């Protein structure tokens, strides 16, 4: 395995962190209420923002900041989960949304909400249910791929279509049965949004993402070898099944936490890892943390566009990511077909 220099890691991750900080300031400053970049930076760095009108300061800290924080966490979770899936399945089309893992997490989460309205199940258990749903969907996907993490792009695509169709139907059915969602909220849940997030959820999501990312980073060397094939990894001393299980649990945890607060946001795990591989290479010791930083910035930037593109109206952020990710997905599928027949 090629040696990864500490200097290169510091330069790449430091640059991405600086870009992410700039995107965060831009997102907090952008909106109907004009806020200066310097004032936002002062607030983020612990200042009082004394030059700001109190009402504007409240908008930044109580409305925009919680949304940006959740956007950072959800983007990091979905992007890094996509990078892990692509390595484990050795397939560039792998993405939590495309594969139906997000759909499984969403179905489990909405089931708890529906039961909660009837049997007083606490809503705090939604992230746990979403994690279990994502884990079950991941296990089914792994089984469909033949138990060795290898399947053709078309097979994985069809599996994801079936998973997502089943999950969408289940979400609509349960929500309608419980009678606690109107049509607009169902739509937002299915397409993905950050417009109704609560800062209270940030703690659970942050803990889940941190745990999942830590696991993926610790096992990043094994992930490099697993991407070469099970036999090669085993010959080089990797406990293949054990590390694969840990990685699948870690990705399910991150996806479940993300879906629990944002619904089904698609293509983040496809766009970000694929783009970064073209720039920094495929060494997961660098790719995993870089993907998390880039995914966080990408989703916050997409959400900023979603809430400001139309004057007086707001788009679901999932619509923005789909507009970017859909064409890329088609391109990757066509490229895979061009390499040979797939079934």
CATH number at residue 266: 1.10.3470.10
- pTM score, two decimals? 0.87
34 lies in some domain: no
103 lies in some domain: yes
What pLDDT score was predicted for residue 343? 39
123 lies in some domain: yes
Instruction: Report the domain count for the chain.
Output: 1
62 lies in some domain: no
41 lies in some domain: no
303 lies in some domain: yes
171 lies in some domain: yes
Which structural domain range is residue 232 located in?
Answer: 67-338
Do residues 78 and 253 lie in contact, with contact meaning Cβ atoms separated by under 8 Å?
no
| 297-329 exposure pattern, b = at least 16 Cβ within 10 A, e = fewer | bbbbbbbbbbbeeeeeeebbbbebbbeebeeeb
Distance of CA 301 to the CA centre of its chain: 14
Give the pair of three-digit tokens for residue 23.
């995107």
What pLDDT score was predicted for residue 117? 57
In the chain (343 residues long), the average pLDDT of successive 10-residue segments reads 81 96 91 76 68 73 88 95 89 83 87 68 74 86 64 68 84 72 63 74 86 95 88 89 89 90 89 90 93 96 89 84 84 68 42
32 lies in some domain: no
3-class state of residue 306 by DSSP: helix
């Amino acid at each position: 395995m090629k040696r990864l220099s500490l200097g290169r890691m510091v330069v790449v991750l430091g640059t991405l962190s600086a870009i992410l900080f700039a995107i965060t300031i831009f997102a907090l400053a952008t909106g109907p209420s004009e806020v200066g970049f310097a004032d936002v930076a002062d607030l983020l760095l612990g200042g009082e923002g004394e030059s700001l009108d109190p009402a504007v300061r409240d908008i930044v800290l109580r409305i925009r900041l919680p949304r940006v924080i959740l956007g950072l966490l959800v983007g990091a979770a979905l992007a890094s989960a996509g990078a892990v899936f692509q390595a484990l399945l050795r397939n560039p089309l792998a993405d939590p949304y495309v594969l139906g893992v997000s759909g499984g997490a969403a179905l489990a989460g909405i089931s708890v909400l529906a039961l909660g309205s009837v049997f007083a199940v606490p809503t705090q258990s939604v992230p746990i249910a979403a994690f279990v749903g994502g884990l079950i969907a991941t296990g089914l996907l792994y089984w469909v791929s033949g138990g060795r993490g290898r399947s053709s792009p078309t097979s994985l695509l069809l599996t994801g279509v079936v998973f997502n169709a089943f999950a969408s139907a289940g979400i609509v059915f349960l929500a309608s049965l419980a009678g606690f969602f109107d049509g607009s909220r169902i739509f937002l849940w299915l397409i993905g949004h950050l417009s109704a997030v609560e800062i209270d959820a940030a703690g659970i999501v942050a803990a889940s993402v941190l745990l999942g990312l830590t696991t993926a980073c610790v096992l990043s060397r094994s992930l490099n070898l697993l991407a070469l094939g099970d036999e090669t990894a085993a010959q080089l001393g990797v406990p293949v099944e054990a590390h694969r299980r840990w990685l699948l649990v870690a990705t399910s945890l991150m996806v479940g936490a993300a879906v629990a607060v944002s619904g089904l946001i698609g293509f983040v795990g496809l766009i970000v890892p694929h783009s970064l591989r073209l720039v920094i290479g495929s060494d997961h010791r660098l790719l995993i943390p870089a993907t998390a930083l880039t995914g966080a910035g990408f989703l916050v930037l997409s959400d900023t566009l979603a809430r400001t593109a139309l004057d007086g109206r707001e788009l679901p952020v999932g619509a923005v990511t789909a507009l970017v990710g859909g064409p890329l997905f088609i391109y990757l599928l066509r490229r895979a077909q061009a390499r040979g027949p797939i079934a």
